[in-house]
Amino acid sequence: MKQMKYLTPRLVGGRFNNHSLPLEILKDLAVLEEMIVEVAKWKYRQANPERERIPRGFTKDLDLRLTNVEDGSVIPVIMLAFSGLQPPANAIYFEQARTEIINAISCAERNLTPEIPSEYLNYFDRFGRGLRDDEYIEFTESDKPVRLNVETRKNLVRASKADGWTEEVSLKGRIPKIDQSRFKFELELSDGTKLEAPLNKQHLKNVLEAVSSYENNMYVMIQGVAKKDRFDNFKSFESVEHITPLDPLDVEIRLEKLAELSDGWLDGKGVALNRDALKKLTHNFDRYFDSDLPLPYLYPTAEGGIQAEWSHNNWEISLEIDLQQQTGEYQAFHLESNKSNDLDLHLATVDDWIELNKALQIVFGVQL
Amino acid sequence: MNSTTQLLRQINPAFVQEDRVTSQAFRPTPKDENHLSVYDGDQISAQAAWEHFVSNPVCNSVGVMAVTFDECQKHSLPVYADGIGYKEHCTIDFSEFKEKDIKKKAKVLSAYASARGWLFQHVSCYK
């Protein structure tokens, strides 16, 4: 088959920075193909109003193929392949479809209503769903590139007048209920919202364990596709890919719980913890704390900070964190020998997280 | 009060995670002038101390742990039976020490109390 270059979207940010294409993005590209074919049919109908039907074999001699992945950050090269020596006449509608789709993204970037009919915009519910907050897909047809990111995708789905949209998510919560007759279970988020989810056989063991340990606060993380309403509220899960039981000391869950404390929590004293600062701490823990080390126990401090603690072989270790200043006072104290190690850390810098990890690795005997 | 007297300490719900109590529960805050309030266990039971404590609407406790008079003495922490506010009130005095040393003393007291376990526990702990 012969082929010609059709589309070279540039995938930028997050997971694409190491110049490789995550397999899950292939799902998005498959949806892009579906959208291109349907928009091409629409363009054909516009150009041929006298025809009631799309000719049989409209796509027979044409095929979209991923032939290469180029650097910078990641550029999948999508070719339009055809069986004859020259592209068939229908290829023009595929060219027009590409232009329409790129124009629609351009409109969404500028908060304008796309010209493409809303039923085709529905494809953006699945195309771009795999993108994370720090990632985008850039398309260039004229001088100015256009970007599909989380925000422009939302604008496009809103413009499709759909009742809601779906998102790939990782959500943490407890499982209060399972209904094996309907193959469903519920995930309860920390704000009390309950989301119904389909129960797959391969997840049954984890779900049953989580249900029986609900009262003991067993949390799980569910990765899958969640449905949201037009107001951005989660409604349910459309599909579930992974269910992972969480460590009882999961940092995010614990800090969410501590965020609920109000002023006066400590016998009339005790300052409430700043939610934004807690989110930043959660992020930094997730990013910089050595995953080979045991997670800390986390407690609020009277001044509105956090104290992380570890106990190991007569070592009592504390890290008192000032959330506003992002500083930490580390102290490891050996109860028998009275040996101690005190460090002042600036937790806004990666270097000091590395220093914290090293100090803990020595106590816990983790291989450096 | 004698060397074996248990000094009863109320434990705030937020100071417990997975049944582990923070060393902060045995550390006075600077606002307390480095004085840690406890009940004299010779004069009141752990449960009665808890009931007395939570009868104050701003006070919250999931239970009672204790260190002994002797354990405090061993670590150079004076204990006064001062009856401030109520007759069973005692103070463990950390004021002679600098902040880093206060944290170490709190870790030691916390380890004693944890090894002893709960003397009284009200329903389940805050997790």
Please name the member of B14, B29, B104 whose beta carbon is closest to the beta carbon of A261: B14
| Angle, vertex CA A59, rays to CA A54 and CA A63, nearest 5 | 160
pTM of the full structure:
0.77
Kindly state the percentage of chain A with pLDDT values over 70: 99
Is the model's pLDDT at B44 over the cut of 80?
Answer: yes
B4 at A interface, C-beta within 8 A: no
B104·A331 Cβ contact <8 A? yes
Q: In the beta sheet, which residues pair with residue A174?
A: A188
Nearest CA in chain A to B127: A217
User: Is B74 an interface residue toward A (CB < 8 Å)?
Assistant: no
- For position A231, what pLDDT does the model report? 83
Q: How far apart are CA A60 and CA A139, in angstroms?
A: 26
How many C-beta atoms lie closer than 10 Å to residue A97's C-beta? 22
Share the mean pLDDT of chain B. 94
The residues in A 106-145 lying below 8 A from B, measured between CB atoms, are: none
Taking CB atoms and an 8 Å limit, are B18 and A248 in contact across chains? yes
Q: Per-residue pLDDT for A227 more than 70?
A: yes
pLDDT interval class at A367 (50, 70, 90): low
- Dump pLDDT digits (tens) for A104-146: 999 999 999 898 999 999 999 999 998 998 999 999 887 789 9
Nearest CB neighbour to A331, from listed B22, B58, B103:
B103
The 3-class SS string of chain B reads: CCCCCEEEEEECHHHEECCEECHHHHCCCHHHCCEEEEEECCCCCHHHHHHHHHCCCCCCCCEEEEEEHHHHHHCCCCEEECCCCCCCEEEEECCCCCHHHHHHHHHHHHHHHHHHCCCEECCCCCC
The confidence band for A83, taking pLDDT boundaries of 50, 70 and 90, is: confident
Measured between alpha carbons, how far is B17 from A325 in angstroms, rounded to an integer? 25
Contact A299/B110, CB-based, under 8 Å? no
Which chain A residues are closer than 8 Å to B110 by Cβ? Answer: 316
Share of chain A above pLDDT 90, in %: 76
* Mean pLDDT, all residues of chain A: 92
pLDDT of residue A175: 98
pLDDT of residue A24: 85
Answer yes or no: is pLDDT of A368 > 90: no
* Single-letter amino acid, residue A185: F
Q: Looking at the predicted structure, is the pLDDT value of residue B127 above 50?
A: no
A249 touches chain B (CB under 8 A): yes
Q: Whole-angstrom Cα distance, residue A157 to residue A144?
A: 23
